[in-house]
Amino acid sequence: MASDPLYYGDYLQLGKILDAQHLESSKKGTAAHDEMLFIIVHQTYELWFKQILWEVDGAIRILNKDAVEEKALGKAVAHLERVVSIQRVLMQQIDVLETMTPLDFLDFRDDLFPASGFQSAQWRLIENKMGMRPHDRHASTKTAYTSRFSDEDKMTVEASEKSASIFSLIESWLARTPFIEFGDFDFWEAYRGAVSRMLASDKSLIEGHPTLSGSEKEGQLENLRHTEIHFEALFDEKQYQNLIETGEKRLSHQALKAALLIHLYRDEPILHLPFRLLHVLGDVDENFTNWRYRHSLMARRMIGTKIGTGGSSGHEYLRKAAQHNKVFSDLVNLSTFFIPRSELPTLPKEVVEQLGFHWNLG
């Protein structure tokens, strides 16, 4: 059957989109010129949030299985790499918003109360689907972070707290990683021996360094002792579990071991894609931190020490949230436990063959 030709404006629903900017300031008389910019930037944020959720949900569907095939893992990496690209756009939008001066903002700011970014349900869904838990958040008040939502949005956001998140799925996926023990090869014991040799070598270098003074040597040795303490907690599973219970760590011990294996032997073909997945998760976490911090600087510039329209402390709340609201800190902080490639335990031939997609023609 013949159909009418598809028209550009109809396909994109431009009639709805371009008629969605209704200035509150115009209801009281003369419209504030920069309120149009303010609305469009925030509407665009919400559109990008929708796309981020689309990509995150795609990654969740791939990872939410007992076994994740390499081809599927590549798709999950692609979804999350697209999120990273979108995050760059989110940062750039602040540049556009900052063409509005503080006095321009004051022309319509009072008309916005009590609406604020606190009421962005999509942003909270992103945080929850990435793996942020309610008690991980920096609290602006004693009330729940969902208290400012409509009943419908509150129900949707709270339901997302109970669903599978990127963090929980990555933790399970890491815990299933093979090669931690393979035949006679025990990665953890081999790695522990390499760490002991590295620390002993570092101590000898400090003690025998010809240009360091006595006080400088003592300072360097003190730093080395702190490093040794970190490694002791890593190798003692009970100590590590205590760190989880106190909130200093979140990733399970088994998952952390696998993440270290992937990072340290990332040059092995079969581990390169898992490395990219862990790396992009660190990028996503870091970019959201940078975006929150940039937002806090903009708030300070725009409103100084005034409270935010949603009742928070404005700049101060946003700054603390940027420091506190993170999901993948354990992955980002893994570099604490890296050792030079030259010190890596040599892998047995049979392990190298498995890691290298070994194909036996016979």
Confirm whether 9 is domain-assigned.
Answer: no
pLDDT at 139: 74
Is the pLDDT confidence value at 306 over 70? no
Count each helix (H run) and each strand (E run) in the chain, helices first: 16, 2
User: pLDDT tens digit string along 240-281?
Assistant: 999 999 999 999 999 999 999 999 999 999 999 999 999 999
pLDDT at 354: 80
Q: Which amino acid is at 210?
A: P
Confirm whether 17 is domain-assigned.
Answer: no
Is the pLDDT confidence value at 362 over 80? no
pLDDT at 309: 53
pLDDT at 215: 93
Q: Which residues are CB-contacts of 26 (< 8 A; sequence separation ≥ 6)? A: none
Confirm whether 4 is domain-assigned.
Answer: no
Confirm whether 6 is domain-assigned.
Answer: no
**How many distinct structural domains can be found in the chain?**
1
User: pLDDT tens digit string along 321-343?
Assistant: 878 789 999 999 999 999 998 88
pLDDT at 307: 60
Confirm whether 230 is domain-assigned.
Answer: yes
Q: Which residues are CB-contacts of 31 (< 8 A; sequence separation ≥ 6)? A: 23, 25
CATH of the domain at 187: 1.20.58.480
Confirm whether 8 is domain-assigned.
Answer: no
Confirm whether 298 is domain-assigned.
Answer: yes
pLDDT at 361: 52
pTM of the model: 0.90
**46 is in which domain, residue-wise?**
22-355
Confirm whether 301 is domain-assigned.
Answer: yes
